[in-house]
Amino acid sequence: MNFEELLAFAGRHVFYVIALVGITVFLLYTEIARLFRPFKALRPASLTALINRENALVVDFSATAEFEKGHIPGSKNVVMSQFDPENKVLANAKAMPVVAVCRTGQASEGAAKRLKAAGFEQVYWLDGGILAWQQADLPLVKGR
């Protein structure tokens, strides 16, 4: 295929070209935004190391029922609807590593942004959430 054939294809299939350009721009934006977020993303193995080396506070933003079904050992549950960076669970943790987690990693990403904006110095986020933790065959504990 040469350049003239490619241009001819693009002329015949304008919708496909627009869709391809749109998807490409969206992917580039997403990746660039990841580079400039104010907190660090962790994978499960890195979280384990952070807990062991620096005694990180793991805050699980899952619903209470989900938290009780299984959570990272030592993590504290803060329900997202009642989340406040000045929460008693978080009150003395502004200088220590704090890791936001939830089931999938989506809700906790917003919580990590709020923690950083509230002045927490070392904020981390478990990319992929508890599901990624489980896929890495790491243990969960049940109950409170």
* Residue 141 forms part of a structural domain: no
Give the closest residue to 83 by CA, choosing from 102, 111, 116, 106: 111
What per-residue confidence (pLDDT) applies to 29?
87
Does one domain contain both 90 and 44?
A: yes
Q: Are residues 69 and 127 in the same domain?
A: yes
Looking only at the bridges linking them, the beta strands covering 97-101 and 122-126 are: parallel
pLDDT tens track, the chain, 144 positions = 788 888 889 899 999 999 999 999 999 987 787 777 778 889 999 999 999 999 999 999 999 999 999 999 999 998 888 888 777 777 778 889 999 999 988 888 889 988 888 888 899 999 999 999 999 999 999 887
Asked whether residue 143 is domain-assigned, the answer is no
Do 94 and 55 fall into the same domain? yes
CATH number for the domain harbouring residue 54: 3.40.250.10
Structural domain includes residue 85: yes
Q: Cα 18 to chain center, whole Å?
A: 30
Does residue 9 sit in the same domain as residue 47?
no
Q: Tell me, what amino acid is at 7?
A: L
Q: Does 63 map to a domain?
A: yes
Q: Are residues 127 and 88 in the same domain?
A: yes
Global pTM reads 0.75
> Both 8 and 55 in a single domain?
no
- What stretches of 1-144 adopt beta strand conformation (E)? 40-42, 57-60, 76-77, 97-101, 122-126
Domain of residue 19: give its range.
3-35
